[in-house]
Amino acid sequence: MVTAPRVGVVALQGGVREHVELLASLGAFPVPLRRPDELVGPDGLRVDAVVLPGGESSTIDRLLRLFGLGHPLRDAIAAGLPTLGTCAGLIQLASRIEDPAPGQESFGVLDVTVRRNAFGRQVDSAETCLDTAWGPAQVAFIRAPEVVAYGPSVTPLARLHDRLVAVNQGAITGIAFHPELTGETLFHRRLLESIR
Amino acid sequence: MKRGLADMLKGGVIMDVVTAEQARIAEDAGAIAVMALERVPADIRAQGGVARMSDPDLIDEITAAVSIPVMAKARIGHFVEAQVLQELGVDYIDESEVLSPADYVNHIDKHAFTVPFVCGATNLGEALRRITEGAAMIRSKGEAGTGDVSEATRHIRTIKREIAGLAATLASDPAELYVAAKELQAPYALVREVAERGELPVVLFVAGGIATPADAAMMMQLGADGVFVGSGIFKSGDPAKRAAAIVKATALYSDPRVITEASRGLGEAMVGINVADVPAPHRLSERGW
C-alpha cells in the first residue's frame, strides 16, 4: 500500500486553509507547520514536501524566526525538500529582496531577486489565465511580487505583462500568485510529482 | 475575487495608528495591516463630537511609511468619503460605526467600488446584509474604545451560534431555510450558502475592546480569523512590546504556554471603561443595522 505523501503547510499567518484543502483533494496528507518539532522529529524530517502560503511576507518572516521554525525549514529546503512558495512564500524563498520591510530577512535558497507589491496595491489585484511553461493556469494576483533578476540555475516559468512571476530551481518552485484561491491544481500536482 | 483578497490577512492582527511613527511600530511588531486614523476610538469616545474620515494627508503619510496594507474608515453610508479613500489608493475601506453615521437608512453600495470593504456586524443577519452589499470582510463590532472585550465576545459567539443553527436546519429540514432567511433579513441564496459551508463566505475578524494577548487568543479560540486592535496598543504603557505580544498570541492562539510568555511584563494596559457603564446612546456597536 502506498501511503499519502505528507505535505507541510506553513501555518503562521495568511491563506493556509485553501492550500490544505487543495492538497487533500489531490490525495496528499497536509500537515500544518507552526513549531520546529512539527517539521523535524527524532527520526528526521516529518514531511515529504512543503508549501509556503501567501500572507503578509514581513509578518510571516517575523513569526518564522520568533517560533524557531525558520532555521530548520530553511535547512530542509536547502537540502532538497520539494517546496512550493506562493506570493509571500516566493519572497521568503528568495536570495534577495529589493525592498524589504524593516528587518525583513529571507531564506536565500532560490537564486532570484524579488520586488514586493510590484503590481501596485490591493485595488489592482485580479484573477487571470496565465500561460506557463507547464501549461495554462487560472490564478489570482494579490499585491503580487515579481522576480526582477535570477541566476543561471533558475528556469523562468511564466510572465504577466512582461514581468517574471513564476520560476523553478531544482526542487523549489516560486510563484507570485495564488492558484489555491481559484482551485488551480497545476502547481500542487507538480509538487506532489516531484516527491520521490 | 474581492472575497479572496482578505484571505491573506488570516491569522493576523490589524492595528489602529494615528501617526506614521505608530504605523512603523505596528509593522515592526508584525501587524498584517494598519488602520489609519486621526483619533483612536478611545479618544473619539472621550472627546465626543462628529467623527469623520481622516485627512488625506495623514493617510498618505501613513501609506508612505509602511509596506503592509493600509485601511481607512469611512462613515456608514458616506459613499463620497469612500470615493475619496479609493482615490487615495487605500487597500481596504472600513465602513465603520466608530465614526458618526452619515446615513441612518442605507449603507454604502460596496459593489460600486473596486477597493474591498470591511464592515462591522453584531449578528449573522447584519453580516449577511453587509456581504450582500459587497463587503469582502466582516468584523464583529465589539464596543470600540473601551478595552472591555465582553461585547466582542457576545458578537462572535452570536454569529458562530447562528451559523451552526443554519447548518443544523439544513441537516434536519432544508425547507426551513426559507423562514430562516426571512428572520435573518438576508437573501435566501446567501443563507443557503452559509448553511452548506458552515461558515461565512468571507473572512470574519473580531474587533472592539481587545487589549491583551489573552483577549486576542480568546477571540481566535472562539473562531475568529484574526483580530483588530484599536486603542488597546497605543493607549498602553509599552506599545511596541504589547503589539508584538498580541501578534504572537494571535498566531499561536491555542498554545497556553505561548500566551503565558506573551502576557509577561507588558506594563500598563489601557485603562478601559466597562461597557455596562457606557450609557446606551453612546454605544458605538448599536450604530448600523
Band (pLDDT 50/70/90 cuts) for residue B2 is low
Q: To 10 degrees, what angle do helices A16-25 and A186-193 make? A: 60
- Contact B94/B72 with Cβ under 8 angstroms? yes
Distance CA A176, CA A193 (A): 21
Query: What single DSSP character describes residue A194?
Result: T
ipTM confidence score: 0.85
Reply yes or no on whether the pLDDT at B109 is more than 60: yes
Contact A59 B86 (CB under 8 A): no
Lowest mean pLDDT among A109-118, B42-51, B243-252: B42-51
Here the contacts of A159-167 (C-beta below 8 Å, separation 24 or greater) are: A160/A128, A160/A130, A163/A118, A163/A119, A165/A130, A165/A141, A166/A130, A166/A132, A167/A110, A167/A112
Disruptive mutation site among B13, B59, B62, B67 for chain A (greatest number of A CBs within 10 Å): B67
Contact A122 B27 (CB under 8 A): no
Contact A63 B30 (CB under 8 A): yes
Contact A122 B116 (CB under 8 A): yes
Paired with A158 in beta bridges are A132, A166
Distance CA B180, CA A140 (A): 34
Reply yes or no on whether the pLDDT at B261 is more than 90: yes
Whether B241 is a known active-site residue: answer no
Q: How do residues B226-241 score in pLDDT, each as one tens digit?
A: 999 988 899 888 999 9
Distance CA B219, CA B212 (A): 11
Contact A55 B4 (CB under 8 A): no
- Averages of pLDDT over runs of 10 residues in chain A (196 residues) are 88 93 97 94 95 94 92 97 97 96 93 90 74 96 94 97 96 96 96 91
Mean pLDDT of B35-61: 91
List B2, B73, B182, B248, catalytic entry: B73
Among chain A, residues having any CB pair with chain B shorter than 8 Å are: 11-18, 34, 54-56, 58-59, 62-63, 66-67, 87-88, 99, 101-103, 116-117, 121-123, 125-127, 140, 142-143, 178, 181
Q: How do residues B210-229 score in pLDDT, each as one tens digit?
A: 999 999 999 999 999 999 99
C-alpha cell at B201: 463566505
Give the residue from B9, B19, B70, B66 showing the smallest Cα distance to B40.
Answer: B19
Give the residue from B76, B83, B79 showing the smallest Cα distance to B101.
Answer: B76
C-alpha cell at B287: 450604530
Place of cell 483577549: B215
Quote the pLDDT of residue A64. 95
Quote the pLDDT of residue A124. 60
Q: Where does residue B148 rank: exposed (0-12), middle (13-18), buried (19+ CB within 10 A)?
A: buried
Helices (DSSP H) in B226-287: which residue ranges? 231-234, 239-251, 256-263
CA-based nearest distance B201→chain A, Å: 13
Residues of B within 8 A of A178 (CB-CB) are 4
Q: How do residues B161-210 score in pLDDT, each as one tens digit?
A: 999 999 999 999 999 999 999 999 999 999 999 999 999 999 999 999 99
Closest partner residue to B68 (CB to CB) among A11, A56, A181 is A56
The mean pLDDT of chain B is 93
Q: Does domain A6-195 fall into CATH 3.30.930.10? A: no
Phi and psi at A146, nearest 5°, equal -135, 160
Q: Where does residue B254 rank: exposed (0-12), middle (13-18), buried (19+ CB within 10 A)?
A: exposed
Give the residue from A80, A93, A86, A85 showing the smallest Cα distance to A196.
Answer: A80
